[in-house]
Chains A and B, each alone.
Chain A
Amino acid sequence: MSTKTKSPRSMTRRDLLKGATTAVGAFVCGATYVAGPNAAWATEMDALKPETFATLVQMARDIYPHDQIGDEYYVAAVKGYDKPEEVDAISAGIDALNDKAREMTGLEYASIGWERDRVDVLRAMEDDAFFQRIRGGLVTGLYNQKAIWPIFGYEGESFSKGGYINRGFDDIAWIG
């Protein structure tokens, strides 16, 4: 399969996106910081290049997309990789992701407009150790953040409140 052959669809999308990469590449990156597109979050970088980290955050959201969860939780989920001993591994992984993205779409990963096209790139590398490491880390890094539990309705610890014996353990109303 030649990587030089572009499908009509990707050509069309590329044309559409031409000149719009700053809008699509949603993260604002400075020399030592990265900020979300809506200024909802910004974080100082300790080790990773800001654009590397921004791509990692986008990758995290695309792996476990929850539209009701803000970027700050995905940032928190992968911030642990922003340290000197991880720079080589993470940079290499994100470089490979961008290589695959360019090969498949002509764009860098974070500049691809539709989630489905980014997911196609991820699917193409889901057996790689880098992808599996990031995905595996997110299972706890994202879902074990207590701050997101209420967004899913999960109530967490209940012993200190006396359990649910007087707080609705059997309060379901819609079942017979």
Chain B
Amino acid sequence: MALNNYLAERKAARSNSDRPAMIMTHVVCGYPSFDANWKALEVMDSFGVDLVELQFPFSEPSADGPLFVKANQEAINNGVHVDDCFDFMAKVTAKFSFKVVMMGYYNTVFKTGHRQFMQRLKDAGAEAFILPDLPVEEAGELHELAKELDLSPIILMTPTNTDARLKQLASCADGFIYTVARKGVTGSDTSMTTEVSEFIQRCKTFTELPLAVGFGVSKSDDIKFIGKHADIAVIGTAALKAWEADGEQGLRDFFDQLLN
């Protein structure tokens, strides 16, 4: 519920600004380092992003594209542990005004234990979590715990889902819905076409929650397109590419062309 209220406020605030959509960005914890993460978050905060996904690195990131695969792998090689991610998350939520969403793979949660993981998320100040490899059929107990602790499970809707499935997904969702604009893994280009807008429209018939649009957002036109049809633009790979190319300044320039 906390996240729902926050998003409603941010949405209202945005109607007086020239920002076409709310913005959710992404960092992989500990890649290239926690210091670099922090600097990236300062840049993101300075551009007034609304939400940030903190990805807990996993050794088998099968839904991620090449750049995030490498990021996950190197973070683990750097010795990043789940404990470090929670510590970092607590620092981030204490300092910044954007809200934090945990992103990762289900095994990280499973190995920690459902209750313990959810409690630690709560204690670290997260609002929500995204586990792309946990289907709703398997998520019953975890979602109950989330409800108890006022954490939002973020559900993904995809263009391959039937209407019946979208309805089922909507019934499990809270906070916002992550709509996957296209098939494939993170990081490849998506052209923002009528196909995408029709899919978003189809999602809207099943939920009143805000819709985030992910996968391949990189240009200011993408943000405008998303603002017209949905609520939240998700910026993942493109931002990491900018950081890889030119560090802090690269990231700043990237957001500048994207948002200003």
Q: Does A associate with B in a complex?
A: no
What residues of chain A have their CB less than 8 Å away from a CB belonging to chain B? none
